[in-house]
């Protein structure tokens, strides 16, 4: 693969999302190894700022770059558009400190670059692949990069708002999927926070033509481009921040509740990890590598669906209370998800006129998430999990039909075949249930059905 740039000069006018200033941007071809650089034509000497991690100066409501007294803000859409189309080298000339926001997505820049045309340069492009997983966590935020044969992003967002709630999307990112599935997704915000944002110097150029505005009970725009447009935009922002590493990377990125401050911190970790140049396609292990024994090779960031979960634990419907599990750390942390439909069998009797999820089943769902974490280990796969004790259980809010439970599991103390686990259950970011429980993993007695027989 060769490095690329655009074919000819193109330009766009508009307003800056945060400054609200009229702004003019000119995109010009650039030579090999130039990278992406923003040029302030309005300043003496026309200083340049290279789009790289060392020049990140701000990550609040967008990514800002700076060098000395020169700064450019909200650059992530342009960077994502360039790398999404395979453009390595680009000169971006501005007459103020913020490029045009366009319609709030990367689509205007994609259309502009395609109008210009994309041409190859003589210099080869180096693609890097991970040699080992990289994980980042901060509170409820998790980002994991796994070695992969493709560039893939799996993203989950969670908002305490009925019009967004929990959204998940997983895509192999290539030119076509970026153009069609990611680039058109617009930035979004909440009506309740607009006034406060503008008083703090943000979103002064924002309006319904360049952002999705979400009210308390309706979306103020005429329509969405995708039912899950917010999570798609988060993937675009993540791409813009990841490519500040200035390398194409083969990896599967799994992100939960990501944002610019965490994206750039995670990208710094990527920049420091073990990587190697990929000169030709190679066979690289993926997230769910099937082992000869039929199990699953669990790594940091592995995401398991119901089929994989049932390969690991013996529970089966109607007593399987976890739909999806993300392994944050194979030894200590996992997140489980369970969507509660109106058709769950227990709502008919608990209670007929006021259906509420039984607290015991919430506890069971957290315990099953912990079982996935432990029994995924090959040395423990043949054992059965048993509760030994539950303490400090608190049921803070009821859980109703139509809710998705997010269960965070963390090992407090572990021995070879027993341990103490902390579990917390959230619905729409509100803590509903918490507890600690002790478990033991025991050998199956003669006559017990083995896990393989269940499978």
Q: Please identify which of the residues 24, 67, 161, 350 carries the catalytic annotation.
A: 350
Active site residue 260: yes
Pairing of strands 212-214, 188-190: parallel
Cα–Cα distance for residue pair 361/357, rounded to 1 Å: 7
Cα–Cα distance for residue pair 369/372, rounded to 1 Å: 5
Pairing of strands 324-329, 333-339: antiparallel
Pairing of strands 383-395, 430-443: antiparallel
What residue ranges in 216-343 does DSSP mark as E strands?
Answer: 248-256, 275-278, 303-304, 324-329, 333-339
Q: Please identify which of the residues 18, 260, 262, 315 carries the catalytic annotation.
A: 260
Judging by beta carbons within 10 Å of its beta carbon (0-12, 13-18, 19+), is residue 280 exposed, middle or buried? exposed
Any bridge partners for residue 266, and if so which?
none
The answer to whether residues 133 and 145 touch, using CB atoms and an 8 Å cutoff, is yes
Q: SS3 for 423?
A: strand
Side-chain half-sphere CA neighbours of 57 within 13 A: 16
Active site residue 350: yes
Catalytic residues: 260, 350
């Amino acid at each position: 693969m060769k490095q690329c740039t655009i074919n000819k000069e193109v330009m766009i006018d508009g307003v800056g999302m945060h400054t609200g200033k009229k702004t003019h941007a000119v995109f010009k071809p650039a030579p090999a190894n130039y990278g992406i650089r923003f040029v302030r034509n309005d300043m003496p000497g026309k200083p340049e700022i290279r789009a790289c991690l060392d020049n990140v100066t701000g990550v609040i409501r967008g990514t800002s770059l700076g060098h000395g007294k020169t700064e450019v803000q909200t650059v992530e859409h342009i960077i994502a558009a360039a790398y999404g189309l395979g453009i390595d080298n680009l000169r971006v000339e501005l007459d103020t400190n913020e490029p045009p926001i366009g319609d709030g997505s990367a689509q205007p820049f994609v259309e502009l670059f395609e109008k210009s045309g994309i041409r190859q340069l003589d210099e080869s492009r180096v693609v890097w692949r991970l040699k080992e997983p990289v994980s980042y966590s901060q509170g409820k935020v998790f980002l994991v990069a796994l070695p992969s044969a493709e560039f893939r992003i799996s993203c989950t967002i969670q908002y305490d708002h009925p019009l967004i709630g929990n959204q998940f999307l997983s895509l192999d990112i290539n030119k076509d999927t970026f153009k069609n599935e990611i680039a058109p997704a617009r930035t979004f915000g909440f009506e309740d926070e607009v006034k406060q944002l503008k008083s703090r110097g943000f979103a002064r150029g924002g309006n319904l033509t360049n952002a999705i505005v979400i009210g308390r009970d309706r979306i103020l725009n005429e329509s969405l481009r995708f039912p899950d447009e917010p999570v798609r935009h988060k993937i675009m922002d993540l791409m813009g921040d990841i490519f500040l590493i200035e390398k194409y990377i083969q990896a599967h990125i799994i992100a939960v509740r990501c944002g610019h401050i965490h994206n750039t911190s995670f990208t710094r970790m990527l920049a420091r990890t073990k990587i190697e140049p990929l000169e030709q396609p190679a066979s690289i292990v993926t997230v769910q590598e099937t082992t000869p024994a039929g199990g699953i090779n669990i790594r940091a960031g592995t995401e398991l669906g119901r089929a994989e979960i049932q390969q690991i634990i013996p529970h089966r419907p109607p007593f399987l209370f976890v739909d999806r599990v993300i392994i944050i750390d194979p030894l200590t942390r996992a997140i489980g998800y369970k969507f509660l439909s109106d058709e769950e069998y227990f709502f008919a009797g608990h209670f007929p006129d006021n259906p509420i999820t039984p607290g015991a089943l919430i506890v069971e769902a957290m315990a099953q998430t912990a079982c996935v974490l432990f029994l995924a280990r090959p040395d423990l796969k043949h054992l059965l999990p048993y509760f030994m004790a539950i303490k400090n259980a608190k049921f803070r809010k009821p859980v109703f039909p139509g809710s998705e439970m997010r269960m965070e599991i963390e090992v407090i103390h572990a021995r070879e075949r027993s341990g103490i686990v902390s579990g917390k259950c959230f619905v729409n970011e509100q803590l509903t249930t918490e507890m600690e429980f002790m478990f033991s993993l025991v050998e199956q007695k003669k006559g017990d059905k083995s896990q393989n027989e269940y499978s």
